Structure 1
Amino acid sequence: MKQKILNVSFLVVFFGVFSSFVFPGKPFLFSAETIMNVDEIVPGMKGYGKTVFTGDRIEIFNVEVLGILRNWEAKSNMILIRMSGGPLEKSGIIAGMSGSPVYISNRLIGAVAYGWSFAKEPIAGVTPINEMKNTLLNLPLHEKGMLPVSAEWDIPSFSQQSLVTPSTATSSIPQEFTDYDAAKITLTPILSPLVVSGIESDVLQRMKPLFHTYGWYPAQGGSYDLYPDKPVKSRLVPGASVAAILIRGDLSAAVVGTVTYVDGDNVLAFGHPFLQTGNADLPMASAYVYTVLSSQSNSVKMASPVDIIGRIHQDRRSGIAGILGASSRMIPCHIEVEGSQKLTYDFEIVDNKLLTPSLILMAAQSAVLSTERKVGEKSVQIQLSARIEGCENPVVIENVFYELDQSWFSLNHIVQPFTMIINNQFREVHPTRIDLKIRVLDSRKTAYIESVRVDKKQVKPGDTLQVDVCLKPFTGEKFYQTVLMHIPEDTLPGSMLNLTVCDATYGQALNLGRSAGKYFPVNFEQLVHYVENMERNNNLMVRILLTKKGITYKGEGFPSLPASVLSIMSFSNYSGVGPLFDEVVSRIPMEYVLNGNQTIPLSVK
């Protein structure tokens, strides 16, 4: 298609191109940039926008106003425009254009921020600049000091079928087309490229549904620092590419958009929310665009972050706000994978309740996949250690797993408890360091609990009971593991006892059924204790359940209550009250991941 000639005046072109080159020694002041209010804009007006299509050069594209969508969301207007020029004729709206400033008569009207799914033309919605300034710069003092909004977070679930079924070839049809519904053509924020490097493509594919919920378009890229002919440090000016850094180091991830407005050290960008957490703390960097990849599904800027030059501190409905020269807090992380080879990864990750767990999961999955085979039986030992601000000892979560395929399931089960810690309801949690050690064995180390026998079925208080557990390893000979169990002195004569030998899954179910209150923490210390003491898959558990006189209340046992209090509490109409059980439990670490359970009844003489 023949490129259209830009229909702007010579002065507009001159000053637009001139603003593309900013000299490091002479910072540009954009606080004097004039603004046009929504009420002054009418359909048919023509202007121009600024963005980067290649490199760090800001280019101009044409804009025609189609109308004003007033109150399209609560107390929010949108300017509807048609764009043309540059690659837009072929590409349509490009992921990464979010925040591109739009001007009419050299006056800023707002940021390109929204588009329609399945649109054939580059028709976009512009967030008015006054709304961006009011919600990002002119905040009331009490809002500026608010803590970030705590949001529920869940790691992406992987079905058991996906764990045992080998991966199939991904369909070449974009997901947007397979989920197409003509009644759901909606106005949504323009996708923002999530540019990652050092991450395996299979991992990125599996994480894609999660990132799409944030409005991100995952794309593999590279580190711009690897290029020796790197130019001088660029500055953030309207139309320049900007990146929010999520991971940096041996692995990297950044979300790319466009700068809308600069006033001194204040920078506004994107024109739509990043995560809409309110207060934010993310490193802000300049970005370099390699090219625009045109696609029927989503055209995208292939880019990489360059230099961290500030901090994103606000993330609200109308965009993000950053401060040049400020710094952000990040969490040092270390991942060590030992298997057919030993590799380590050192990087920093953002401290964010929503993002930290999913990014740790992505990094760990990629580290394992790049080190070990994709398909085949394996045993996986994982230990996550997290140091938390204000806590003397690190939180340690560890377990052993057997898998048929990639280690999604095992890593999920380690990261999920960590997610519970940082998203707890009791106190703010800020990790200061995260260490993850993963050991992979290319063999199946599993055993089945085949049977159990005891040296006597009638016991007396104070007795020692010998329990012999028959274990059958996979492709191995069965053997017996002997466990000695002590019957408590205060066991009631004439009572019946149940001796259970089980694996971790069954044991965890017994824990919840017998002492449910103990597993619904009422403070942060209880939560940490619960997480650190989750049943391990290689532990052989032998358990004897004893009925005791007393009650439990919110996980705490009360065995010595007066009879009158016990009677009242037993019929209490308050939640958290339950019967009191005691249990003798022995846990024997084995070299196998165990499966199965067996039970024998015992009587007390």
Structure 2
Amino acid sequence: MKPVRRFLFLLVAVVLLAVSAEAAPFRSSEPYLRTSSLRPGMKGYALTVISGREILRFPVEIVSIIPRKGSPKNLVMVRASGSVISKTGGIAAGMSGSPVYINGKLIGAVGYGWNFSDHNLGLVTPYEDMASVWDWPEKIVTLPGLPPSGIEPQDEEDDDKKKSSPRNETPEKSGSGNTDEPVLKGELSPLFIDGISGRTAAEITALLGKERFIPGGSFSEDIPVEMNARLVPGEAITVLLAWGDVTIGSTGTLTAVAPDGRFIGFAHPFLGRGAVNYPVARAYIHNVVPSIEAPFKVASPLRIVGTVTHDRPQAIGGRIGYFTPSVSGTLTFMDTDRKSSGKKRFHFVPDPFMGAKLSAGIFTGLIDDLWGRKGQGTAVFTLTVHGRGLGQGWTRKNMFFSDKDLALDALKETAELLDVIFLNPFAEVYPLGVTVSAEFTEEPRLMFIEGIDVKGDSFSAGDTVEVEVNLRPYRKKQVKKNFKIVIPKDADGFCEILVRGGGIEPLHQSAVVQGWKTIANFRQMFTEMSALETNNELIIEFNYEKVSKRGKDRKDPEDPVSKEEQELLSEMKKRRLEDGTLQIFKSEFVVEGLLRKIIDVKPSDGKSGGQQEDDEE
């Protein structure tokens, strides 16, 4: 297991990122009909956008009411018709959330269709099911010291009551997607991804639990915010996960708006993650693409108007005029072979459980695009994280070599480190910024350990040993490096001098693994992260077996557990560097290899380890 991944599993992820906002019933600004009032043969209309921002009507007729054991409780089968549907080739992906009216009253919204079928048929999620997303409390992300925009957090007494209420427990499980209920297919909100390579777009699609994505994009490098926006049912909207030089989102339709600015839409889940904080933007529809599989809208986000705070099985819900904090990402890229460079900026959602993998995937896709290739090579990566409590920021620099997929392999460490930060149990770090500086080359910048030589034949405890290491840069002449290592005064018998590349059989957090210590605060967490080895280090260690004496020969003050086992990684490295039993040389290459040398150390009384064993026998 890599050192970063091991460190990640040593932390208990307890995240406090939000305050709960009290749930309140949703009341649409328009009159509505309940499902019990609907009958087959009833006729009405639906609203949607198929080009630009113009809202159009198309006729619908109720075919049947389908009762369900899951959530939503009912679905209404409708048949769409008219010139709009003829032009689009049927109900299209992107029409999810299109409000449906019977006798001028809202009954719900188009939510589902079928692939390779009659695209004039669709399923409507009833209004009462969609409005029920507001039966759950929100989790509003706030910057430290600032209250939520126009949202009052509930007091502790109310919060406790909600936690004890079965109504607030069971639906949350449904919202998370962990349910035994039948899963509906054919959700009509296409995922679009733009600005990154196709292969990473496919990986992000799988990460989000989606089956496919379509091309999309934005009119500008960043999406502006529209204050005091006024939206109406039938408008095209986009839920965003990332925006800027990269755009990731899903386009659907706004179903209804309450007088207080809350809204519902989509008529099915986006990702089904429950209480969320995803920006929502007005959308511009370029066109609807007819398809035998399923027609779909191609859209671009225009201006951010609010935030989706509910992502439930029945619908999405959110607030117009509330703007959630985001995480900023910056990539500075250099192709040293072509002497070309590029810079990309983006924002992504403050989701601690998804943010690390999402941002790492975006960085990978951006590098694919800027490098113009994937495959073998060497990279120098500098990761800098800015945020609350980090002062000037925390930085880690490392080198990577891959013979298969350099960008993907190098970004694995970034994802693991960001997981540690996002999921840390100590403190929030918002506002958060992530910067990656990457220098890429196709050249294998490797250095191999080919031999070690120890000067001298006889060694005593306390001696300083000269160690010569033979190194060979990739396809170049061998070079020699000399180091000095100190033999501890309590060393005795056969001991080991180990020369290795950084990250190969690395020093461990044994104190944490064995339960002698724990990483107890925010500052200590970053100290231990900084102590992790890097791949360009040449490491020389003096290792020996030090076991406490037992029985009558054991001294009372002697600790039965060795000092090294009780030290955190940073403490152990600092002590060993100071006492000379550890040397670290930072090179300009990824260091490969591991070699050992055994030496016999005489104790301070002049007896060798072997002689001592003979005497004891």
**TM > 0.5:** yes
Q: Please identify, of 75-84 and 240-249, the stretch whose mean Cα deviation from structure 2 is larger.
A: 75-84
Amino acid aligned to 2:597: I
Q: State the number of aligned residues.
A: 518
2:479 — aligned with what?
479
1:33 matches 2:24: no
Mapped partners of 1:588, 1:226: distance in 2: 42
Other-structure match for 1:220: 215
Tell me which residue corresponds to 2:275. Answer: 279
CA displacement 1:530-561 (0-9 Å, x = unmatched): 4333221111112222334579xxxxxxxx98
1:330 counterpart = 2:329: no
Instruction: Quote the offset at 1:401 in angstroms.
Output: 0.9
Question: Which of 283, 296, 299 does residue 300 from structure 1 map onto?
Answer: 296
Residue in structure 1 matched with residue 599 of structure 2 by the alignment: 602
Q: Alpha-carbon deviations, 1:575-602, whole Å to 9, x = none?
A: x9xxx99963322111111212111222
2-structure distance, mates of 1:445, 1:138: 54
Q: Is it true that 1:388 corresponds to 2:387 in the alignment? A: yes
CA distance in 2, matches of 1:216, 1:269: 21
Residues 411 and 561 of structure 1: CA distance in aligned 2, closer, same or farther (over 3 Å): farther
Partner of 2:97: 99
Tell me: CA distance 1:520–1:119, structure 2 relative to 1, closer, same or farther (3 Å): farther
In the alignment, does 2:396 pair up with 1:401?
A: no
Is the 2:52–2:286 contact (alpha carbons within 8 Å) kept by the matching residues of 1?
Answer: yes
| Residues 388-426 of structure 1: per-residue CA shift (max 9 Å, x gap) | 323435232331012344511112222222123212345
Q: Which has the higher strand share?
A: 1
Greater relative contact order (Cα < 8 A, sep 6+): 2
Post-superposition offset of 1:298: 4.3
Q: Equivalent residues in 2 for 1:11-22 (5 A)?
A: none
Residue type matched to 2:545 in 1? Answer: T
Offset at residue 352 of structure 1 (A): 1.6
**Aligned letter for 1:287?**
A
Q: TM-score, normalised by structure 1?
A: 0.75
Give how far 1:75 is off.
7.3
Q: Counterparts of 2:526 and 2:484 in 1: how far apart (Å)?
A: 30
Partner of 2:242: 247
Give the equivalent residue in structure 1 for 2:365: 366
- Report the Cα distance in structure 1 between the residues aligned to 2:79 and 2:471, rounded to whole angstroms: 71
Q: What is the DSSP-based 3-state SS (H/G/I as helix, E as strand, rest coil) of the residue aligned with 2:310?
A: strand
1:16-60 Cα distance to aligned partner (Å, 9 max, x none): xxxxxxxxxxxxxx9441111122223333322211111111122
How far does the alpha carbon of each residue in 1:339-375 deviate from its partner, in whole angstroms, 9 at most, with x for none?
A: 2212222333222224422342233223322332415
8 Å CA contact retained: 2:378, 2:406: no
TM-score scaled by structure 2?
0.74
Query: 1: distance between equivalents of 2:291 and 2:556?
Result: 72
- 8 Å Cα contact 1:221/1:304 also seen in 2: yes
Residue 346 of structure 2 is matched in structure 1 by 347
Write out per-residue CA displacement over residues 77-110 of structure 1, whole angstroms, 9 at most, x where no aligned residue. 3333333345646644422222111222222111
Distance (whole Å) between structure 1 residues aligned to residue 513 and residue 497 of structure 2? 20
Residue 6 of structure 2: aligned partner: none
Residues 187/278 of structure 1: CA separation in 2 closer, same or farther (3 Å cut):
closer
Between 1:478-487 and 1:420-429, the stretch displaced more is: 420-429
Q: Where does residue 535 of structure 2 map in the other structure?
A: 537
Cross-structure match for 1:236: 231
Secondary structure, in 3 states, of the residue corresponding to 2:65?
A: strand
Q: How big is the shift at 1:123?
A: 3.5
Which amino acid in the other structure matches residue 275 of structure 1? L
Q: How far apart, in 1, do the equivalents of 2:374 and 2:197 lie?
A: 15
Which of the numbers 36, 57, 61 marks the counterpart of 2:58? Answer: 61
Q: Which amino acid aligns with 1:258?
A: T
In structure 2, runs of 5+ residues without a counterpart are 1-26, 139-153, 177-181, 223-227, 550-554, 563-567, 603-617
CA shift for structure 1 position 301? 1.0
CA distance in 1, matches of 2:203, 2:516: 31
The alpha-carbon deviation at position 451 of structure 1 amounts to 1.9
> Does residue 207 of the first structure (1) align with residue 240 of the second (2)?
no
Q: Verify the 8 A CA contact 2:379 2:439 in the aligned structure 1.
A: yes
Q: Cα 1:143–1:282, aligned 2, differ >3 Å: closer, same or farther?
A: farther
Residue in 2 aligned with 1:19? none
Preserved CA contact (<8 Å) 1:136 1:316: no
Farther-moved stretch of structure 1 (109-118 vs 255-264): 109-118
Deviation at 1:234, TM superposition (A): 8.0
| Change in 2 beyond 3 A, CA 1:186/1:282 | closer
1:503 alignment counterpart = 501
The answer on whether the counterparts of 1:116 and 1:186 sit within 8 Å (CA) in structure 2 is no
Q: 1:136 is paired with a residue of what secondary structure? A: helix
Shift in CA distance, 469/327, structure 1 to aligned 2, threshold 3 Å:
same
Written as runs of structure 1 = structure 2, the 5 A alignment for 1:442-461 is 442-456=442-456, 458-461=458-461
State the match for 1:588 in structure 2.
585
Aligned residue type for 2:279? P
- Whole-angstrom CA distance in 2 between matches of 1:197 and 1:391: 32
Paired residue type of 1:325: G
**Residues 224-277 of structure 1: per-residue CA shift (max 9 Å, x gap):** 3599xxxxx984211111112333333333321110111121211112223333
Kept in 2: contact 1:375–1:406 (CA 8 A): yes
- Name the amino acid aligned to 1:365: T
Out of 48, 63, 81, the position equivalent to 2:45 is 48
* C-alpha distance 529-43 of structure 1, shift in aligned 2 (>3 A): farther
Gapped regions of structure 1 (runs ≥ 5)? 1-29, 154-184, 228-232, 552-559, 570-575
Matched to 2:417, the amino acid is P
Deviations along 1:138-186, one digit per CA (max 9) or x if unpaired, are: 7595579999x99xx9xxxxxxxxxxxxxxxxxxxxxxxxxxxxxxx96
Structure 1 pair 599–288 and aligned structure 2 pair: CA distance change class (3 A): same
Q: How is 1:67-78 mapped onto 2 (pairs within 5 angstroms)?
A: 67-73=64-70, 76-78=73-75
Tell me the equivalent position of 2:252. Answer: 257
* Counterparts in 2 of 1:136 and 1:514: CA distance versus 1, 3 Å: closer
- Whether contact under 8 Å (1:235, 1:286) holds in the other structure is no
Q: Given that residues 519 and 530 in structure 1 are in contact (C-alpha distance below 8 angstroms), is that contact kept between their aligned partners in structure 2? A: no
Letter of the structure 1 residue corresponding to residue 310 of structure 2: Q
In 2, the alpha carbon distance for the partners of 1:550 and 1:125 equals 73
